[in-house]
Amino acid sequence: MGAGGRYCLLLACYLLFLLLAAAVFVGIEGPPERRLRTQLQGDLASFREAYGGCLPPGKLEGLLDAALKAEGYGISALGNVSDAENWDFPSSLFFVVSVLTTTGYGHTSPLSDGGKAFCVGYAALGLPVGLVVLAMVRGLLLPPPPSRPMAWAAARWGLGPRRAALLQAGLLGLLVVAAFLLLPALLLWGLEGDWSLLESLYFCFVSLSTIGLGDFVPGKGRHPALRGLFQLGLVCYLLLGLLAMLLALEAISQLQEVQAIVSFFSPQRPPLEEDRGDILARDELTLSIPPRPVPSLEPIPAQEAQGFPPGPGASGKG
């Protein structure tokens, strides 16, 4: 099978992977959604039966619609609504970092037209700047493998460059998993009383992978001061965790095994016209240069080597 066939096979397998994942979610999440929908409809029917005479028709639906719209902007109708604001300085800083890191939890969004317009302009400018800064930091923090510690380990244990690069990528991956996935999940599990360990791991993973579904955000329902501390901690966690994640992925992508897999499935493109023209120009330049005379391999007589004219018998046999 050629390179083009392997490339098409890879695309087909990836499409099948997407379809299978969608089918799995249909089977797993469909029944709970139907149960929740049935329960909600039953609760609404019971409420109308008990208090329907006290409410004019359509008032309950209007109240629920207003509450859901406010919930979409991060304003909850449960409890004391005035306890915490979504646009104080810690919340605004958390929103800016979630936008520039493309995490985008979605639990808070701009309310005004001016805020939406500023968000678009700020993200359009901040995302390229963030990529440039990230590339500079990556070059400083991730030297080409093997780095100095890995070079010392390779010299001590007799590892080749290939195994040293593999060791460096493995250690970076373990560091990211331990320091930015397991440890923060344990902290959130202890601080958030109603979160399970799985939900804490789920939040850390969707944050580091920049998925940011927004169904779990720490600090909700807490005192405004504690909520601000949670948000500042999340800002530091996102910046450091995403940087560590990208460094680990960069180290893994530089492995020879990964490069071999990528080149195996990559289609081989024909050379472009400008590349062919450049090759022809170099060939013409090579042909236009006259060939150098090849030096004779015959031995030079001793008299000529010393600067004397050749003798009478030098041109022929004596």
What are the structural domains of the chain?
88-266 (1.10.287.70)
Residue 196 predicted with pLDDT over 50: yes
C-alpha distances out from residue 223 to 3, 73, 126, 173, 216, Å: 59, 19, 31, 36, 18
pLDDT at 303 over 70: no
Q: How many CB atoms lie within 10 A of CB 108?
A: 19
Lowest-confidence region among 6-20, 245-259, 279-293: 279-293
CA atoms within 13 A on the CB side of 250: 16
| Residue 317 reports pLDDT greater than 50 | no
Alpha-carbon distance 120 to 60, whole Å?
Answer: 36
Q: Is 170 exposed, middle or buried (CB count within 10 Å of its CB: 0-12, 13-18, 19+)? A: middle
Tokens of residue 63, six digits: 């109240």
The burial of 60, by beta-carbon neighbours within 10 Å (0-12 exposed, 13-18 middle, 19 or more buried), is given as: middle
Whether the CB-CB separation of 209 and 101 falls below 8 Å is answered with no
**pLDDT tens per residue across span 89-111:** 888 999 999 999 998 888 788 88
pLDDT, residue 315, reads 46
What percent of the residues of the chain are helix, what percent strand, and what percent coil, each to the nearest 5? 70, 0, 30
* Mean pLDDT, range 238-253, rounded to an integer: 87
Percentage of the residues of the chain whose pLDDT score is greater than 70: 75
Closest CA to 98 of 213, 223, 228, 221: 213
**Radius of gyration of the chain from its Cα atoms, rounded to whole angstroms:** 34
Query: Whose structure tokens read 């490069």?
Result: 259
Question: Which of 23-32, 270-279, 294-303 is modeled with the greatest confidence?
Answer: 23-32
Is the pLDDT at 265 greater than 80, yes or no? no
Q: Is 87 helix (H, G, I), strand (E, B) or coil?
A: coil
Residue 32 has pLDDT above 50, yes or no: yes
